[in-house]
Structure 1
Amino acid sequence: MSTLALGAARIGYETRIYFRSPDTLFFTFLFPVVMLGIFTTAFGSAGNVGTQPDGTGGISVGAYYLPGMIAAGMLLSGLQNLAVDIATEKGDGTLKRLGGTPLSPLSYFVGKIGQVFVTGILQAALLLVVARFAFGVSLPTEPSAWFTFAWVFVFGVITSALLGIALSSVPRSGKSATAVIIPTVLLLQFISGVYLQFYMLPSWMQNFASLFPLKWMAQGMRSVFLPENFQTLEPSGAWDLPLVALNLGIWLVVGVVLSLVTFRWIRKDS
């Protein structure tokens, strides 16, 4: 079989393994849905977000947090899931055994990234369904908004997956992977406008968050789901979609380079 054919065959295998792991399923697939429900329920009684002084306007808490949760889901499915999964496979000898087969690293990458795409699409669809029918969030109707959603989603998922592959080389063992990866991902979510309203964060924290892709993924998704007047709350006063694309593109290239340089079937110090 060709390299791509082997990779495509692994997508189904990786996806089945993903859905057979209860802890992975909860902490990467259902976690954003659970958090959306918690935030909407806990803060919904405080009123709409962005309400004018006269009491008009604004959007529901669920509508405001939806784009951030979609962006967080992309990061969890890609970076956190793959970083922990690959580090674990490296620690228990799975990668060493795969290295002795005709499977190439590229085929392995295709399988992993394909699995992230499949689960990411299902996760985003579940979030949208829950937001629309459980919390009454109005979804965009303009084709241009869904086009923006599509390219931000594709950019974000691929970038997150590649960075997850690269980050998997950091933990020294499969047992330490969660201790290294999960706090890092959690920190990014807090400073990138997922759990906290980004415009309320201090300027230095906004600038620091801008160095990482999650901030740009969340900003791109806010441009899709939030009203136009909410762009004035962004640091530059606009959605800056070309800048979103540029930063995600840079991180995608960084992810490719780091993945190729750092990936090994076994650790160098083994």
Structure 2
Amino acid sequence: MTTTTIQTPPLPAGRTLRLGFSRIGYEVRAYFRRGDGVFFTFLFPLVFLAIFSVAFSTSSFGKDAAGNTVTAADYYLPGMLAAGLLLSGLQSMSIDIAGEKSDGTLKRLGGSPLPVFSYFIGKIGQVLVTGVLQAALLILVAGVVFRVTLPTDPAKWLTFVWVFLLGVTTCAVLGIALSSLPRTGKSATAVIIPITLILQFISGVYLPFSQLPSWLQNTASLFPLKWLAQGMRSVFLPDSFKAVEQGGSWNLSGILVATVIWLVVGLVLCRVTFRWIRKDS
């Protein structure tokens, strides 16, 4: 008996895009139905911003050009925005896809007419939507509850937009690539969360980056979170704070180059490692 394999013809580009955009809504709804995921990725930076703002409410983190005190909320807002990109993108995405591989969801999708590109559009679109909501919530709470003085210079907000968009896309792509690392969905949390925690501690999210040893600063510079946190600090902290950054400047061009490199690396890894079904399944 001869077995015939039926190849599904590629869908037109327009339909591939429509399928991808239609999946964004599905992915966003599925994301907010997972209570633990919402807390540990969507609300986690907000919780830490509140904790640091209250715990260090009597501390001064420096002065701006007008002599006003930089509060804990002022200082930690940029780090929490950068951490939100990492958590909503890399951590959430990698754990989610690893779980879908483990429970057979990807196997079923692989047997459907859904193109891989449409699947990626849905996943990255979900990260973009939730990332925008998360950033808006962080900035709103910081401004209204903790009286953080937000930038008034349009150039600062333009920097925020491109750092955010490039950062959230890069983290989402790296999350897809990293999803191939855990062998099972149950082990995904244990594998991924330590990676993201270490990156947060060495990248100037929880600890002042200038106070870390030089070798640790150089190590953190190899990874994108350090650059995203620096980009956010350039937006929300006074310009006088750039003196304590590596090189004594915000180095926006370096942030752009480093993040684009990681975006390309993530895309290559996605192309090489992503499978609907693990090879060793």
Which TM-score band applies after superposition, normalised by the shorter structure?
over 0.9
1:228 has 2:243 as partner = no
1:142 has 2:158 as partner = no
What TM-score do you get using the length of structure 1 for normalisation? 0.97
1:128 has 2:139 as partner = yes
Counterpart position of 1:49: 61
Q: Distance in 2 between matches of 1:233 and 1:214?
A: 18
Counterpart position of 1:266: 277
Q: Distance in 2 between matches of 1:142 and 1:43?
A: 28
Question: Which residue type is aligned with residue 191 of structure 2?
Answer: V
Question: Which residue type is aligned with residue 94 of structure 2?
Answer: A
Q: Distance in 2 between matches of 1:261 and 1:106?
A: 14
Counterpart position of 2:169: 158
Counterpart position of 1:248: 259
**Deviation digits for residues 94-146 of structure 1, max 9, x if unmatched?**
00000000111111000000000000000000000110011010100111000
Counterpart position of 1:60: 71
**Residue number among 167, 180, 183 corresponding to 1:169 in the alignment:** 180
Counterpart position of 2:31: 18
Question: Which residue type is aligned with residue 162 of structure 2?
Answer: W
Q: Give the count of matched residue pairs.
A: 266
1:36 has 2:27 as partner = no
Distance apart, 1:43 and its partner CA:
1.4
Q: Please state whether the residue corresponding to 1:44 is helix, strand or coil.
A: coil
Distance apart, 1:50 and its partner CA:
2.1
Q: Distance in 2 between matches of 1:198 and 1:43?
A: 17
Distance apart, 1:260 and its partner CA:
1.0
Q: Distance in 1 between matches of 2:114 and 2:63?
A: 56
Of the two, which has the highest radius of gyration? 2
Provide runs of 4+ in structure 1 moved above 3 Å. Answer: none
Q: Distance in 1 between matches of 2:89 and 2:266?
A: 12
